Structure 1
Amino acid sequence: MKIIGRIHTDFKEKFGIPRQSGLVEELTAKIYFEPEYRNIDAFRGLEGFNYIWLIWKFSETVTDTFRASVRPPRLPRNEHLGVFATRAPYRPNPIGLSSVKLLSIENTEEGPVLTVGGADLLDGTPIYDIKPYLPYADCHMDALAGYTEITKKHILEVEIPEEELTKVIGEKRETLIKVLKQDPRPSYQQEDEDRIYGMFFANYEIKFRVINNILKVINIDDVID
């Protein structure tokens, strides 16, 4: 498998990344390509699509042991499912699949650069391939949601003090709120209302706790690169 490029996102660590692509389309990211694949001809026709599939590598997931069952983060502590019934990163082959919105294609001095929305990827994630999303074939209106029919409804209310929210620049404010609403916590930590969590988003570190399904931001600090 050849790495064709890498995506650059607002997430420097896994904690806080939305659990599926498209949940927060306001999250923008850019894909830069390896020298071998910087030919703009390789992207001719892609401008006719507004969604694409990204095939990528779970680069931060290292395991040599096959796990037949895994615990999805939204299910109760002791509930496990078969790995092939989930999108867990611990797989026989560390391959991820995401559907993202294609916002632009630019031909720059660094070669073609794609800007996408709604990516659920860590900053620097290797990209293996890109394919157009085909609505007549890829959208199945009768598809069953399985156990996610329950877990997808889990959304938090978010409270951020005004003096903290103003530390976040411009459009990143609304995007941060939508990311926090998705509840970054694993399910096995969701009963601990005294726990203070920390996550990194863009150039900020956010500290918060969750009480009665209300995520309360304690403080937001700038992070120096």
Structure 2
Amino acid sequence: MTRPKHKSRPAAEALTLTPIAYTRSCFKDKFGVPRQPGLTRHAHAELVIAPPFDREDAFRGLETASHLWLTFQFHEAVRAEWRPVVRPPRLGGNKKIGVFASRSPFRPNSLGLSVVRNDGLERKNGRLVLRIRDHDLIDGTPILDIKPYLPFADALPDASMGWADTPPVDRVDVGFTPEAETALATLSPTDYPDLQGLIEDVVSYDPRPSFRRGRDEDRIYGAHLYDLNVRFRFITAGGMVRVEVVSIC
């Protein structure tokens, strides 16, 4: 018997993706965002579920998952043309590697993938909201898919990545000026959960571009966390680098 021939289908030239949620994040812009999820345990966000996906039935059973996979768009890194090589900050910003060997946000389809902690679903002002933590998403990030993290399948202790096998260890000591400490004491922990820990995590990993490190010691940088401008500077003394939070306003 002659087997029927299967007709080949041309690959789709473009896909239309509909966001299922948008992010309300403690990170208001790209500067200061951790370069990977989980580098701060103090980053909170809400995923505001968009219609028609805002039905509790679509999330039934998700409460049993401690962590989630999020597929999202790097919406502030979309470019008209893609480049085959990138310069990862982990390699000092000078060495080039292939974009598909990296986790750079500058990708052909501008898609990202992160593991985050699941803090539960709730109705808030009539909107269905999924609360998350330990994330690396800036405000307004479109969420394209949500899946539960499966420890038996997704955790691979023998996996390796060569140039990025271990967590970054070059954290610097963090101090606060009296002005910054006073500002921290006046802020509501309900409105700004885990704020001191969040600030310490963000600045201790040195969010400056690689080419700025070791320069501009008097320069004051600012990171927008929630609706606050956290201003800080790096100080070198005795060959050691530390960071001082100057003000929080």
Task: Compute the TM-score of the two structures, normalised by the length of structure 1.
Answer: 0.92
Q: SS in structure 2 opposite 1:114?
A: strand
**Given the alignment of the two structures, is residue 136 of structure 1 paired with residue 152 of structure 2, yes or no?**
yes
Letter of the aligned partner of 1:214 in structure 2?
R
Question: Structure 2: which amino acid aligns with 1:180?
Answer: V
Distance in 2 between residues matched to 1:178 and 1:159, nearest whole Å: 12
Q: Any conservation in 2 of the 1:40–1:111 contact (CA below 8 Å)?
A: no
Q: Does 1:186 align with 2:209?
A: yes
2:231 to 190, 193, 207: 207
> Is 1:176 matched with 2:204?
no
Per the TM alignment, residue 51 of structure 1 is displaced from its structure 2 partner at its CA by 0.2
Query: Residues 163 and 4 of structure 1: is their aligned pair in 2 closer, same or farther, counting only changes over 3 Å?
Result: same
Query: What residue ranges of structure 2 are gaps of 5+ in the alignment?
Result: 1-16
Q: What is the distance in 1 between the residues matched to 2:99 and 2:212?
A: 22
**Separation of aligned partners in 1, 2:166 and 2:154:** 23
- Matching residue's letter, 2:201: K
Match for residue 46 of structure 1?
A: 62
C-alpha contact (below 8 Å) 2:87/2:94 kept by paired residues: yes
- Specify the alignment match of 2:178 in structure 1: 162
Aligned counterparts of 1:109 and 1:76: Cα–Cα separation in 2: 45
Secondary structure at the aligned position of 2:89 is classed as coil
Assess if the C-alpha contact under 8 Å between 2:43 and 2:134 holds in 1: yes
Amino acid corresponding to residue 219 of structure 1 in structure 2: S
Report sequence identity in percent.
Answer: 40
Highest CA radius of gyration, 1 or 2?
Answer: 2
**Cα displacement (A) at 1:109:** 4.9
Say whether the 8 Å CA contact 1:74–1:187 is kept in structure 2: no
> Aligned partners of 2:167 and 2:124: how far apart in 1?
41
The superposition leaves residues 110-142 of structure 1 with CA deviations (integer Å, 9 ceiling, x where unpaired) of: 342111111101101100000000000000000
Task: Quote the offset at 1:90 in angstroms.
Answer: 0.7
SS at match of 2:223: strand
Call closer, same or farther: CA 1:145–1:165 in 2, change over 3 Å: farther
Are the aligned partners of 1:33 and 1:112 in contact in 2 as well (CA < 8 Å)?
yes
Aligned to 2:219: 195
Indicate the residue corresponding to 2:10 in structure 1. none
**2:6 maps to which residue?**
none
Aligned equivalent of 1:101: 117
Q: Paired residues, what number?
A: 221
Alignment RMSD (CA, Å): 1.6
Unaligned runs of 5+ in 1: none
Q: Deviations over 1:72-125 (max 9, x none)?
A: 123224211111111111101110111000011114453421111111011011
Check whether the contact 1:75–1:187 (CA below 8 A) recurs between aligned residues.
no
- Return the letter of the residue paired with 2:116: V
Partner residue, 1:219: 247
1:147 aligns with 2:153: no
Match runs of 1:21-32 below 5 Å: 21-32=37-48
Contact 1:17–1:122, Cα closer than 8 Å, also in 2? yes
Contact 1:56-1:97 at 8 Å conserved across structures: yes
In structure 2, how many angstroms separate the alpha carbons of the residues matched to 1:161 and 1:101?
Answer: 32
Give distance in 2, aligned partners of 1:154 and 1:82.
Answer: 24
Q: For 2:91, what is the secondary structure of its paired residue?
A: coil
Checking the alignment, whether the CA contact within 8 Å between 1:40 and 1:107 is kept in structure 2 is no
Contact preservation (8 Å) 2:49, 2:130: no
Partner Cα distance (1:165, 1:86) in 2: 38
